[in-house]
Structure 1
Amino acid sequence: MAKKLVIKVTAGADAPERCSQAFTVAAVAVASGVEVSLWLTGESAWFALPGRAAEFDLPHAAPLPDLIDSILAAGRLTLCTQCAARRDITEQDVLEGVRIAGAQVFVQEALADDTQALVY
């Protein structure tokens, strides 16, 4: 049975190293053949919008748009329902391939067999 990884990232530009680590771990896991579900919550919610990742800059880190592209190509990227609502973000606003879902879906994914969960 395949291994699965669910990652919740709560940090955005307010904590750039923590934010970058979450996206990097997700992208490396995807490249390694792991089934990945990355959840954008809190300040990371803004990265569900087109162009926002390009504004993120952290020296010696992979570009966030490249990491997001690799995650979307072979994994799942989800924006928290409440976080989206608090920021007036709708399904029409987000990058193609990003879904909006709530805590119930996160819990289902995190508790699935052979799944590891990480929070950044």
Structure 2
Amino acid sequence: MSRTLVIKLTAGAEEPERANQAFTVAATAVAAGATVSLWLTGEAVWFAVPGRAEAFDLPHAAPLTELVAAVLDGGQLTVCTQCAKRRDLTADDLLPGTRIAGAPAFTEEILTDNTQAIVY
């Protein structure tokens, strides 16, 4: 039986260690074979915009571009609906494979059996 990990990231580049940790855990869980869903909220939504991960730098951390790619390749990357609207972002502004969804989808994911949810 496979477990699902749902991660919500509420911090953007203004809190680089917390932001990088969420992506690191998500990418590691994907590599371990877990079903992974990473939700970006608040300022974290900018990481789903092309070019933003490339501009992010945190010494002694895996490059954010690699972590984002790992999540997109093996998991689900989601941008909060309201957060996207507040920043005038649409699906066309986001990395391919990123979806926009809201609280009903998040709630459904975290209430599913065999799911662990964490927030950064």
2:36 equivalent in structure 1? 36
Matched-pair identity in %: 65
Number of equivalenced pairs: 120
CA distance in 2, matches of 1:83, 1:46: 10
User: What does 1:8-87 align with in structure 2 at a 5 Å threshold?
Assistant: 8-87=8-87
CA distance in 1, matches of 2:58, 2:42: 19
Deviation at 1:95, TM superposition (A): 0.4
CA distance in 2, matches of 1:83, 1:61: 26
CA distance in 2, matches of 1:63, 1:103: 29
CA deviations over 1:6-44 (Å, ceiling 9, x no partner): 000011111100000000000000000000000000111
Deviation at 1:63, TM superposition (A): 0.5
TM-score, normalising length: structure 2: 0.99
AA at the equivalent of 2:94: V
AA at the equivalent of 1:93: D
CA distance in 2, matches of 1:74, 1:31: 8
TM-score, normalising length: structure 1: 0.99
Pairwise CA RMSD of aligned residues? 0.5
Any gaps of 5 or more consecutive residues in structure 2? Answer: none
Any gaps of 5 or more consecutive residues in structure 1? Answer: none
